[in-house]
Amino acid sequence: MSKLISLLGLQWGDEGKGKVVDLLSKDIHAAVRYQGGHNAGHTLIVDGKKIVFHLLPSSICHKNIKCFLGRGVVISLDALFSEINDAYKFIGDIEARLIVSKAACLIQPYHIKIDQLRERSRSGTKIGTTGRGIGPAYEDRVGRRSIRVVDLYNPKTLKVKLEEALEIYNFLIKRYDKNQQEDINELLDKNLEQAEKLKPFVGNVISEVKNLQKKNKSILFEGAQGALLDYSLGTYPFVTSSNSSLGGIAPGVGLSATKIDYSLGISKAYATRVGEGPFPTELKDEIGTYIAEKGFEVGATTGRPRRCGWLDAVLLSQSVYLNGINGICLTKIDVLDGLEKVKICVDYTSPLSKEDILETMSLDDVKPEYIELEGWDQLTEGITNFNDLNKKAAVFIQTVEELCGAPVVIISTGPRREDAIIREYPLGK
């Protein structure tokens, strides 16, 4: 059955989306990224070799899937070419199946410089950005001064736009470091050179997606980051600068919001976060270390250790609600194997009402309230049939469903593709 399916992380990113793409890949014809840039990080194992992509959709390693970078993605051409080269080495030529929207905005070197300089100069208010120019590139997009892919093919206006940008950025950069000025001629030459290299990949994503729908093809919308990093709905200001929620698909692809057939949300069986920002269930004790070590919780983009904590059902059920989640894929349940007790946060103690907390995502002063479940000794690792799960792990999953109001349709029980329990296949039989 053909479907338009959205796949997004329900927490702060790194939920294991790549593996779920793998599970669905045989029934997917096309995949679209619609937001973010090379701040994302998905680790893929292709023929036993590890590759990390930041910008290309995870689906790129499946030769049957056509991949799109939609208008909502901010694109660093340096990053894109480097990933196309990696793809060439490990997967083969992807020219015929990668299309970059003409309307996508570009990350220029000055965006990266200012992102890093600004973050470095902050004292108490660091966001913990990946330093890849994502925020400044989106600021320009909203400020109506972005250089879009289409501008690369009009050298006259490109020069004018770059000059206008440098007027602002060289001024800002000088404030932090007077030795890092950008030169207009070098920048223009670089853009024009990259324009030639990009030509075979440039296309019209709206019409491509429309044609695929007419042909009844299944399309996957691959979210990057996670719902709690959405700049409108997440833990503002400790968020990324795009709509990493379901709502980002319509403007980020060019598709009506009513067209998505199935919204699949990915959540770990616990919680992690990279970078700064509130994290009510964070564990700074030996259980946090146990989870971090057992779950290999290190950021794929920056190599920073991920902060770890218990599953927060208050935030998870909010993500389920805001993203119209039809089914949850619960990942890394095997990481909890062997713990004596497993906790889930079900409420907060706070001077604010729960409604106020969720409206503003002011999580700084909340104290989590937990329910405590029996842990399990029997391994869940590698189990592929729900009935083979030990009772206590099954109770944990059932509790997550009850607290979040959505069924857990897939359970990932280990790092290998085959380590999964599929209770309901989101793409039908």
Q: Is 140 a catalytic residue?
A: no
Q: Six-digit token pair at 44?
A: 């893929």
84 near ligand IMP, rule: CB under 6 A: no
Q: Six-digit token pair at 109?
A: 């070197």
Looking at the Cβ atoms of 220 and 393, the one nearer to ligand IMP is 220
128 near ligand IMP, rule: CB under 6 A: yes
**Region 189-228 residues binding ligand IMP, contact defined as CB under 6 A:** 224-225
Q: Exposed e or buried b for every residue in 338-351, given b needs 16+ CB within 10 A? A: ebeebbbbbebebe
72 near ligand IMP, rule: CB under 6 A: no
Length of the chain: 429
Q: Is 38 a catalytic residue?
A: no
Least distance (Å) between residue 27 CB and ligand IMP: 25
Size of the site for ligand IMP (CB under 6 A): 22
Longest Cα separation, the chain: 68
240 near ligand IMP, rule: CB under 6 A: yes
Least distance (Å) between residue 341 CB and ligand IMP: 27
Looking at the Cβ atoms of 233 and 274, the one nearer to ligand IMP is 274
**Region 22-41 residues binding ligand IMP, contact defined as CB under 6 A:** 39-41
Looking at the Cβ atoms of 40 and 106, the one nearer to ligand IMP is 40
Looking at the Cβ atoms of 131 and 397, the one nearer to ligand IMP is 131
| Catalytic option among 27, 29, 38, 42 | 42
Report the C-alpha gap between 334 and 419 in whole angstroms. Answer: 10
Give the one residue of 24, 100, 212, 229 binding ligand IMP; rule: CB under 6 A. Answer: 229
Report the C-alpha gap between 385 and 292 in whole angstroms. Answer: 26
Report the C-alpha gap between 133 and 301 in whole angstroms. Answer: 13
Least distance (Å) between residue 272 CB and ligand IMP: 8
Least distance (Å) between residue 35 CB and ligand IMP: 10
Report the C-alpha gap between 322 and 316 in whole angstroms. Answer: 10
Q: Six-digit token pair at 298?
A: 């290190």
CB under 6 A: which stretch of 129-137, 215-223, 316-324, 343-351 binds ligand IMP?
A: 129-137
With a CB cutoff of 8 Å and minimum separation 6, the contacts of 191 are 108, 147, 152, 158, 162
Q: Six-digit token pair at 13?
A: 């990113």
Contact 236, 21 (CB under 8 A): no
Give the one residue of 252, 275, 280, 414 binding ligand IMP; rule: CB under 6 A. Answer: 275
Least distance (Å) between residue 276 CB and ligand IMP: 6
The candidate with the shortest Cα–Cα distance to 310, out of 350, 280, 349, 274, is: 280
The candidate with the shortest Cα–Cα distance to 336, out of 271, 252, 429, 419, is: 271
Report the C-alpha gap between 243 and 342 in whole angstroms. Answer: 32
User: Residue 360 burial by CB count (10 A; 0-12/13-18/19+): exposed, middle or buried?
Assistant: exposed
Looking at the Cβ atoms of 41 and 57, the one nearer to ligand IMP is 41
Question: How many distinct helices (H) and strands (E) make up the chain?
Answer: 12, 19
317 near ligand IMP, rule: CB under 6 A: no
Residue 53, CB half-sphere, CA atoms under 13 Å: how many? 25
Least distance (Å) between residue 285 CB and ligand IMP: 23
309 near ligand IMP, rule: CB under 6 A: no
Contact 222, 249 (CB under 8 A): no
User: Which residue has the closest beta carbon to ligand IMP?
Assistant: 275
Least distance (Å) between residue 142 CB and ligand IMP: 14
Give the one residue of 3, 62, 97, 132 binding ligand IMP; rule: CB under 6 A. Answer: 132
Give the one residue of 116, 130, 235, 243 binding ligand IMP; rule: CB under 6 A. Answer: 130
Report the C-alpha gap between 411 and 423 in whole angstroms. Answer: 8
Active-site positions read 14, 42
Which residues sit at the interface with ligand IMP, rule CB under 6 A? 12-14, 39-41, 127-130, 132, 134-135, 224-225, 229, 238, 240-241, 274-276
